C-alpha cells in the first residue's frame, strides 16, 4: 500500500509539473503575440498618409523572391493593399488584372500585408501566379502597412514621382467568394 501511495504521489507531482510547464509555454507564446500586437498598434497609429505627402521608404518581396524597394518602382505606380480575408480586396485585384490598368497606370502591385498564415500566403501566391498585369508582393516587414498607416482593405494608392497623389479605400465592384 505504501508503494502505491508513493507512486501515486510521484505521478501527481509529474502531472502537476507538466501542467505548469504547458502553462508557462502558453503564457510565453501569448506574451510574444501580445508584444507584436502592441508594436503593430503603435506603428499603425494615426491618420493615413495624406494625399500629397512624400511616400515613405518601403520594401516588399515578390512571388519569385525578389525584393523591391520603393526606389526600385517606376515613377508612376499603383499599390493595392490587400488581405486574403477580404472579398473586396480579391475583387479589386481580379478586376485590375482583367483591366490591365487603373486610371491609365499599368504598373500595378498587389501587396499582401504581413501576418498571413501559411495557408493565406499560399492562397495569395496561387492567385498572383495566374496574373500577368498585377505583380503580387508581400509586405513581410510591415513597412507598407506602417508607412501608409493602412487599416482597411482594399486600399488603392497612386504614387507619382515619390508623392501619394490619390487614395481609394474600399471597392465599388462586387465582392467575390
The rounded percent of the chain whose pLDDT value lies above 70 is 77
Per-residue pLDDT of 110-168, as tens digits, reads 998 866 778 888 888 888 888 999 999 999 888 898 889 887 889 999 999 999 999 99
Q: How far apart are CA 80 and CA 89, in angstroms?
A: 8
Contact 115, 124 (CB under 8 A): no
Q: Which residue has the cell 513581410?
A: 140
The pLDDT value given to residue 33? 61
Of 111, 128, 4, 17, the residue nearest 68 (C-alpha)? 111
**Residue 160 contacts by C-beta under 8 Å, 6 or more apart in sequence?**
75, 76
Amino acid at each position: 500500500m505504501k508503494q502505491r501511495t508513493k507512486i501515486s504521489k510521484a505521478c501527481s507531482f509529474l502531472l502537476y509539473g507538466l501542467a505548469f510547464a504547458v502553462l508557462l509555454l502558453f503564457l510565453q507564446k501569448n506574451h510574444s503575440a501580445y508584444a507584436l500586437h502592441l508594436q503593430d498598434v503603435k506603428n499603425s497609429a494615426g491618420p493615413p498618409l495624406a494625399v500629397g505627402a512624400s511616400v515613405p521608404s518601403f520594401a516588399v518581396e515578390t512571388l519569385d523572391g525578389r525584393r523591391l524597394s520603393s526606389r526600385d518602382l517606376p515613377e508612376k505606380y499603383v499599390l493595392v493593399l490587400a488581405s486574403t480575408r477580404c472579398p473586396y480586396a480579391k475583387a479589386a485585384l481580379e478586376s485590375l488584372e482583367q483591366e490591365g490598368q487603373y486610371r491609365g497606370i499599368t504598373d500595378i502591385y498587389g501587396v499582401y500585408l504581413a501576418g498571413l498564415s501559411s495557408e493565406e500566403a499560399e492562397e495569395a501566391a496561387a492567385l498572383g501566379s495566374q496574373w500577368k498585369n498585377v505583380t503580387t508582393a508581400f509586405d513581410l516587414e510591415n513597412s507598407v502597412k506602417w508607412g501608409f498607416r493602412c487599416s482597411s482593405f482594399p486600399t488603392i494608392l497612386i504614387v507619382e514621382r515619390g508623392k501619394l497623389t490619390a487614395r481609394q479605400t474600399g471597392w465599388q465592384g462586387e465582392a467575390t467568394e
